[in-house]
A = this chain, B = another copy of it.
Amino acid sequence: MKIHEYQAKDVFAKYGIPVPPGKVAFSADEVESVAQELGGKVVVKAQVQVGGRGKAGGIKLADSPEDARAKGEQILGMDIKGLPVEKVLVTKAIDIRDEYYVGITLDRDARMLVLIVSAAGGVDIEEVARETPEKIAKVHIDPLVGLQEYQITRAIFGSGVDITKARDIRAIIRKLYECYIAIDGSLAEINPLVVTTDGEVIALDAKINIDDNALFRQPELEKLMEVGADMDAIEAEARHKGIAYVHLSDGNVGVMGNGAGLVMTTMDVVSRAGGKPNNFLDIGGAATPKVVEDAFHLILLDPNVNGIFLNVFGGIVRCDVVAEGMIKAYEKLPRKVPVVLRMTGTNEDIARKMLEGTPLVYESSTETGAAKIVEMLGGQS
């Protein structure tokens, strides 16, 4: 789960990490009054859960409350990478001397957490890692042992930051780790961590991702969830319905199946057969008529979809039960597009018979099924 910058800053502040004074605003009026409150120059920042806000014009400096209002008006309602800007964070403008990067995340390959510190902050850290890896210090954290002081020392002295600020940065890193663990983070990032011209060290930006699997024990954070804030409308709808759906958006074939690996493979086979998968959709283990119906409905929300390929491996699930659900679901479809069904497993033959005379086309392998749907859609997409 992602949360907004202003929410992440609230979390940071709770753990004692210094952030610039500021407040979220939902309208140009509010932007002006927050700017008034803060006094002096302010920065107006679009709150959208996507990177590259700055380049997209979503972050602007304002000289006065009036100017802030004007900037707020420009930013609110913008569309950044498909996400509408509904709120902005207004913060006091900071005079920056240095921009650093500090982040904690999971290093999946090392099976450990990792602390990353770099003097090259304020830019895309992955790019820094690729171009100038020597500017980045990484230390792995065994969560049983916890982040130790010597590891922070290594990271700070290896990162190229101004070591006269080592004490402040050390304290912030300690708090960031404490925060990361306490909130079940999968990412806690300060980019940039700035040294101001007055020598203060402040988190100018804040990014927190929370492990979805851990939300059950993070009720306070779960409340911050905005379903759909980082996804498109169909994905948001799928999330509401509890269905694992990913939108690729530029394909003609809707793909669904049971099991993530099987669905991904099905997409690959459809693509190889000359079709273009429009989505990933995993109906999971319980292929009930209700789930299948919801799944069809979701897939058809994208008007680009003009055919569906459904691929089920019946391990414990019986094929006849699935077939029955499919037939019922199809009847309720708002748009009757061609549907190819590939099923294998218990009662495969019965299922096949049941489908005879329905608009649903049965195929016995993934490859022939994919070829069939592509053929029905008129060949190459």
The residue on B at minimum CB distance from A146 is: B144
With both chains docked as a complex, state the minimum distance between the C-beta of A372 and any C-beta of chain B, in angstroms.
52
Q: Kindly supply a per-residue 1/0 record for chain A positions 123-150, scoring 1 wherever the CB is within 8 Å of any chain B CB and 0 otherwise.
A: 0000000000000000000001100000
How far, in angstroms, from A144 to B144 measured CA to CA in the complex?
5
Chain B residues within 8 Å of A145, by CB: 144
How far, in angstroms, from A145 to B144 measured CA to CA in the complex?
6
How far, in angstroms, from A22 to B144 measured CA to CA in the complex?
39
How far, in angstroms, from A145 to B143 measured CA to CA in the complex?
9
Chain B residues within 8 Å of A144, by CB: 144-145
Q: Kindly supply a per-residue 1/0 record for chain A positions 145-189, scoring 1 wherever the CB is within 8 Å of any chain B CB and 0 otherwise.
A: 100000000000000000000000000000000000000000000
How far, in angstroms, from A120 to B144 measured CA to CA in the complex?
34
How far, in angstroms, from A145 to B142 measured CA to CA in the complex?
11
How far, in angstroms, from A144 to B142 measured CA to CA in the complex?
10
With both chains docked as a complex, state the minimum distance between the C-beta of A58 and any C-beta of chain B, in angstroms.
43
How far, in angstroms, from A144 to B145 measured CA to CA in the complex?
6
Q: Kindly supply a per-residue 1/0 record for chain A positions 256-292, scoring 1 wherever the CB is within 8 Å of any chain B CB and 0 otherwise.
A: 0000000000000000000000000000000000000
User: What are 2 residue pairs bridging A and B, where the CB atoms are less than 8 Å apart in the complex?
Assistant: A144-B144, A144-B145
Ordered nearest first, which 2 A-B pairs have the shortest CB separation?
A: A144-B144, A144-B145
